[in-house]
Every structure is written in C-alpha cells, then in structure tokens.
Amino acid sequence: MSTAQNRPPVMEIQRVSMSFGGVQALDDVSFGVDEGRILALIGPNGAGKTTLLNVIAGTLTPTAGGVRYRGHKLNGLPTHQRVRLGIGRTFQQALVFGEMTVLENALVGCHVQGRSELFGAVIRLPYVRREEEDARLEALRVLNLVGLGSKADVPASALTFGQQRLLAIARALAARPSLLLLDEPAAGLNRMEKNDLGDLMRRIQEMGTTVVLVEHDMELVMRLAEWVVVLDHGRHLAEGTAREIRRNQAVIGAYLGAEVA
C-alpha cells in the first residue's frame, strides 16, 4: 500500500475468496482502504465487485479469507451489527421504502442511533419523544445534505429514479457511517445528476467518511477517486492512483478483452 501516511488502513480485505458452487466469484483478493479516502472499485462486468461489497457488508460469508475493520475481524458478524460498527451501504437498486415518506425513510436510517425499544414505544416514555425529536432533526439534516429537504413529506415512491438514489444515500448517511459502500450510485443518472452526485460525495468525504465506490462511469471515477482497485474475473488485477490505472496495460487489456468477448 503506497500511502503517504503511516497510519494503518481503516479496512483491510485479507485474501478473500468466494465461490458459488463451481463459480469462483472472488479469488484471493487483498487490499487496504485508507481512512478518509474515496476508493473506487472497478472492473468489467462479473469481476466480483458487488460480491466483494456484500462480503464487506456481511451479506455474504466468504469461503476463505476475511475482512478486518479498525482492528476487528468481521468474520461471522451479521450485517446489522456491522452497521453499528460504522459500515453503511447502498445498493444498485435504490431499495427505498416506497410506501413511507422521504422523511420516514431517513428516520429509518437513524435507527442505529436510537435506543428506544418496544416497551418505551408502547407507553411513550418521555425519553422516547426526545429521541424521536432528535431523529427528526438528524433526518432533515441528511435530507438537506442530499437536496431532498423540500420533499420530506412526499412518499418515496413518488420520487424520480435519481432522487430515490439520493434518498438511499441520505438514509445510509443518517446512520453516521465512518465507511460508506456505494454500489454503482451513478448508474442511470443523467449528466447533471452525476455532477451533483460527485459534489455530494466530496461533501461526504469532507465529513470524514471513507467511501468505497463501485462504479462503471470512468469519468466519475477519475474525477473523484484517490485510489482505484481493479478486479477482473474475481482477481485483484491492479491498484493505484486514477492516473496510474488509466495507463496500466493489464487494465486496458482486461477492459478491451471484456468488450471483445
């Protein structure tokens, strides 16, 4: 890891392999993610990028290897507990809660910060109300951050596709992640929306959040990512700065090969 600082990476992917039946989706992948950076994970279709995100988030258990996060081994830890450790994520599909309002979606994002349980909810203890009020403020804050503050009371299903994407990011931010995994956030967005998304990611980074970004849009990757990791057929093919990766012959070959195939 050619980092300037000598701090240990916030997350280390350690020799992760994942096979589904006979298909080797990930094959002995290792790399580190430095704190506060935007790291892009790229590669041709089927390279194993989303699989790796699922391994990090805890949706999938790797067949070998593991993930180390802030010194903890994450092996066997279920998704919802990883969120409590500060690992947030979004999906390729926005997966917003369509029947709920935009504000309620963001409020669900605040879930991990709350402590109120069933009992408190049933009889509406004073601290539950206070907590609810705090959550509302936090939810409005993240909605304003992504520019959806004015849509708070609209049902999420009424938002455009791009707005739903932003809502999914807001929702994940409400949990105050220190590491945010974004799975193709720009797919299907128009040029202007992509620009806004880029600005938003810069702001997220400025808040101190580390971002791992799976993305096909090379322009966006080149503009944002300080470090790029390239996967190909489940293997770690290369990593480096965006500029280095653009000139890497192996990477160019992999992409050309994918296009020919």
Partner 1 sequence: MNTRVVPLSRRRDWLGLAGLVLVLGTLPLWLSSPYALSTLVLIGIYSIVTIGLCLLMGYAGQISLGQAAFFGLGAYASAILTVRLHWSPWLALPAAALLTGLIALLFGLPMFRLRGHYLAMGTLAFGFIVELVLNEWKAYTGGPSGLPGIPRLTIAGTPLRTDMVYYYLVWGFAILALVLGLNIVNSRFGRALRAIRASETAAQSLGIDVARYKLLTFVVSAVYASVAGSLYAHYMIFVSPTAFDFSTSVRLVLMATVGGLASIWGAPLGTALVMLLTLGLRELVPLVGGSNSGEFQIIAYGFLLVLIMLYMPAGLTVWLTRTWSQQRPRWEQGLAVARARLAGRR
101 three-class SS: strand
202 three-class SS: helix
With 0-12 / 13-18 / 19 or more C-beta atoms within 10 angstroms meaning exposed / middle / buried, residue 164 is buried
Given the complex with partner 1, which of 17 and 92 has the nearer CB atom? Answer: 92
The yes or no reply on residue 128 touching partner 1 (CB under 8 A) is yes
Paired strand residues for 179: 87, 210
Binder to partner 1 among 24, 116, 195, 205 (CB under 8 A)? 116
Structure tokens at 124: 């509406």
Given the complex with partner 1, which of 11 and 107 has the nearer CB atom? Answer: 107
* Percent of residues in the chain assigned helix, strand, coil, to nearest 5: 45, 25, 30
Residue numbers 131-160 binding partner 1 by CB under 8 A: 131-133, 135-137, 140, 144, 149, 152-153
- For residue 176, CA distances in Å to 170, 173, 197, 225 come to 10, 5, 18, 21
Binder to partner 1 among 16, 42, 74, 107 (CB under 8 A)? 107
Q: Do residues 228 and 245 make contact, with C-beta atoms less than 8 angstroms apart?
A: yes
The yes or no reply on residue 124 touching partner 1 (CB under 8 A) is yes
Q: Could you tell me which stretch among 6-14, 108-116, 226-234, 235-243 binds partner 1 (CB under 8 A)?
A: 108-116
Residue numbers 30-69 binding partner 1 by CB under 8 A: 57, 59
Rule CB under 8 A: which residues touch partner 1?
57, 59, 78-80, 83-84, 88-91, 95-101, 103-104, 107-109, 111-112, 114, 116-118, 120-124, 128, 131-133, 135-137, 140, 144, 149, 152-153, 168, 171-172, 174-175
